[in-house]
Copies of this chain bind each other. A is one copy, B any other.
Amino acid sequence: MSELSQTIARDTAQKKSATDSRENYPLHLAIPTRFNDYDLLGHVNNALYNRYFEIIVLELVKRSGIDWIKDNVVPFAAEVLVQFKKPLPLVDHIDAALRVGRLGRSSVTYEIALFTPTSEDASANGHFVHVFVDRTSEQPVPMPQSVRDVFERYQYTGETS
């Protein structure tokens, strides 16, 4: 685990210095908080960060034209990582931001950040990996080209700021 942790730390440090401001994310979504998102410590509960990640991932999935009910090829969650930078305080909504990172043959990594409305520094960073599977066999298959085309539009291609 320690090698992995070091790699995460190094990788994250590099990314953060270069590309972690709002303009480095092509997709933005304001997510209204709910009263019970907060726990008795007065902050957004840690498991809700994953809920917010899911909400913005599903926004992109919707834009990609995927139909969860009818399609034969659907994305399954493979991995989610959240790095908590600072507690999310009582706010009306969270600004979620997403860019498509690694785009493989059958998998896609979404890089995600959460911001409070008034801050330029992310309160949390992380990623979420989808693997496309055949609905029946549940084995990985190539993602549809039409979906890939949409994902490519949400990759970050700008110069580092």
A7's partner among B7, B40, B42, B78 (CB-CB below 8 A) is B7
A112 to chain B, nearest CB (A): 12
Write out, one digit per residue, whether chain A residues 67-84 have a CB within 8 A of any chain B CB (1) or not (0).
010000000111111111
Majority DSSP secondary structure for residues of A touching B: mixed
The size bracket of the interface on A is: 35 or more
Q: Is the CB of B51 within 8 A of A36?
A: yes
Binding site for B on A (CB under 8 A): 1-5, 7-8, 11, 15, 31-32, 34-36, 38-42, 45-51, 53-55, 58, 68, 76-84, 87, 90, 101-102, 109, 111, 127, 129
A-B interface, 3 closest residue pairs, ranked by CB to CB distance from nearest: A47-B50, A46-B77, A4-B11
16 pairs, A vs B, C-beta closer than 8 Å: A1-B11, A1-B109, A34-B51, A34-B55, A36-B45, A36-B47, A39-B40, A40-B41, A45-B54, A46-B50, A46-B54, A46-B80, A47-B50, A76-B84, A78-B83, A79-B84
